[in-house]
Amino acid sequence: MAEHKKEIDQVTGIETTGHEWDGLKELNNPLPKWWLYIFYGSIIWSIAYWILMPSWPLVNGYTKGLLNYSQRAVATEEFDVAAAERAKVGEKLMEASLEEIRDTPALLEFAMAQGKVAFGDNCAPCHGTGATGFEGYPNLQDDSWIWGGDLDTLATTISYGVRAEHDETRFAEMPAFGRDELLEKDEIIQVSNYVGSVAGLPVQDGVDLEAGKVIFEENCASCHMENAKGDMETGSPNLTAPTYLYGKSVENIIAQVNAPRHGVMPAWIDRLGETTVKSLAVYVHSLGGGQ
C-alpha cells in the first residue's frame, strides 16, 4: 500500500479523497448505511431471482427456475383469453347475415377489425397490403369484379377459392385458342385487335377488325357476351373494364388468347373458419369497390 497524506478540506473539516477537478476537491463523506443495506438487499434479491425465475443461459436451453415462469406461456394464456372474448362476438357474426353485419355498427366495427388483420395475414401476399393487387392478382379496391363484388359472392369466393382444390371451388377456363390450334395466328391477331378496339386501345396497323368481330362472335361471345362486358356468373371477365388482370394491351390480349394463364386462389373456409371468412368478406366489401 502506497503511503498517502491525508488532506483535510478547510471549509468543512472533512477529509478529501484526493480527486480534484478544476480545483474542486471531492469530499470523502461516508455513504449512509441504509444505502449499503439496499445494495445487500439487491444481492439477496438477485439470488432469489436466480432460484425462482428463468435466468441463466445454458448450452442447451436455460435454467427454468422454481416458479417455472415463462413469458411465452403467459402470452399464450392471454391470447386464449382474448380468443374466447372474440368468440363471443364471433358467435353473433355466425348467426347474422352479411347484410346484418354491415348494417349493425358494433358487428361492423368488429368485422372490420378482424377482417383487416385476417387480410394482412392471409390475403396481402398476393393481393397486396392495400388490396390493390398485382399483375395476375386481382385488385380488390376497384369496382371491376370477375366473379362479382356483392357480400355473398365475396364470401363464396373467399370460402372456396378459384380453381382451388375444393369441391365447390369456382371454376372457369378459357380455351387456349393458339396452343390448341383452335384459331389461326392471323385470326388471333384479328380478334385480339377487335377486343382492343372495344376496350379503347390503339389497334395495330392493317388489321381487319370486321373479321375480328366475326371471330369474336363465333368463339368468344358465348362467355364474354356480345358486348364484351363478360359474365360474372361464369367468371368471364369484362373486356371493357379499365384494367385487365394480365395487363391491358393488345400484346397481352394476343398472349392471353393464344395460351391463357389461369391463376389460382386457395379455398379459405377450412383454414380460417366461417366467422373469419365473413369478416373478410365485409372488410373487402368495405374497401369501397363492393357492389
User: Rule CB under 8 A: which residues touch other proteins?
Assistant: 1-5, 7, 15-20, 25, 28, 30-36, 102-105, 108-109, 112, 128-130, 132, 141-144, 241-243, 286-289
Nearer CB in complex with other proteins: 36/73: 36
Nearest-approach distance from CB 159 to other proteins, in angstroms: 22
Nearer CB in complex with other proteins: 140/189: 140
Nearest-approach distance from CB 138 to other proteins, in angstroms: 13
Nearer CB in complex with other proteins: 141/219: 141
| Alpha helix stretches (DSSP H) within 139-273 | 151-160, 185-198, 209-219, 221-224, 250-258, 269-272
Nearest-approach distance from CB 17 to other proteins, in angstroms: 6
Q: What is the C-alpha end-to-end distance of the chain, expressed in Å?
A: 90
What Rg value do the Cα atoms of the chain yield, rounded?
A: 36
Q: What are phi and psi of 125, to 5 degrees?
A: -55, -35
Nearest-approach distance from CB 248 to other proteins, in angstroms: 12
Nearer CB in complex with other proteins: 5/88: 5
SS3 state at 19: strand
**Cβ-based neighbours of 96, under 8 Å, separated by 6 or more:** 104, 107
What is the Cα–Cα distance from 160 to 157, expressed in whole angstroms?
6
